[in-house]
Amino acid sequence: MTSFDLTPQGVRGMMRAGEWQKPTSGVSSSYVQANLVVLPKSMAYDFLLFCQRNPKPCPVLDVTEMGSAIPSIVAPEADLRTDLPKYRVYREGKLEKECTDITELWTEEMVGFLLGCSFTFEQALIENGIQMRHNEEEKNVPMYKTNIQCHPAGSFEGPMVVSMRPIKQEDVVRAVQVTSRFPSVHGAPVHIGNPESIGINDINNPDFGDEVTIKEGEVPVFWACGVTPQAVAMHMKPELMITHAPGHMFITDKKNEAYGIL
């Protein structure tokens, strides 16, 4: 059995026992993985509203009841305090530490948000014969701040962050079709082609992640990115904010295909 075939329950059990602290790319590959954002309940309404107003960068998959660490819709037997491989803890907007268990930090004041992640639509693209350059080059996907402003909500505001994948010209239409099926995990691209039209002046110098090669005959295609809500929340310098560590996602019980709307 490879890590592709592990069940979400099995992998989360290993994480809970401290036996799995690695990234989750490709693990339980037919299941939806999610970004985690934990915030104090005083910020929960504005954050939820921000996500509702900006569904492409912030597709909400589940929100815990206040104080609860149980994502009752996507994985009712899981515990967000222990069932991710690695967390990041931010205080007043500054990274304090990484850790593998946040039980001691979770109080009645906390609310957990799980947001869709690009692994789901990448899996769909790969199944359609469209390879991911960052996988081939063993890098992180390149991400960029854009001049596309999110709809603000309360004091949450900021630019949309996008990820970029070079796609062969002849595959661009198919890439739009395939990802349009998955609005819960960023959905269709937000932009195709010229990076400068969305405020990206140097495609070889991403704001997050790594540069990847764009070959002759390929077009840069941009999708809204789950880094957006983290960046926006961070900007507010919350007293305490906890996220997954990059690439160390929460694995839900839901199949990728369950989020295909057609």
Name the residues that contact a copy of itself, by CB under 8 A.
44-45, 48-49, 52-53, 60, 63, 65, 72-73, 151, 153-154, 177, 180-181, 183, 187-188, 261-262
CB-wise, 150 or 234, nearer to a copy of itself? 150
CB-wise, 6 or 43, nearer to a copy of itself? 43
Instruction: Answer whether 186's CB lies under 8 Å from 122's CB.
Output: no
Smallest distance, Å, CB 64 to a copy of itself? 10
Smallest distance, Å, CB 239 to a copy of itself? 19
The candidate with the shortest Cα–Cα distance to 143, out of 242, 219, 231, 26, is 231
CB-wise, 23 or 260, nearer to a copy of itself? 260
CB-wise, 64 or 256, nearer to a copy of itself? 64
The residue written with tokens 């026992």 in the block is 17
Contact partners, residue 9, CB within 8 Å, separation at least 6: 77, 253
Smallest distance, Å, CB 226 to a copy of itself? 17
136 φ, ψ (degrees, to nearest 5): -60, -35
Smallest distance, Å, CB 44 to a copy of itself? 6
Smallest distance, Å, CB 188 to a copy of itself? 8
Instruction: Answer whether 40's CB lies under 8 Å from 262's CB.
Output: no
Smallest distance, Å, CB 172 to a copy of itself? 16
CB-wise, 214 or 232, nearer to a copy of itself? 232
- Rg of the Cα trace of the chain? 18
The residue written with tokens 């063993």 in the block is 138
CB-wise, 31 or 259, nearer to a copy of itself? 259
How far, CA to CA in Å, does 255 sit from each of 56, 58, 75, 123, 141?
20, 19, 11, 12, 23
CB-wise, 66 or 95, nearer to a copy of itself? 66
Smallest distance, Å, CB 60 to a copy of itself? 6
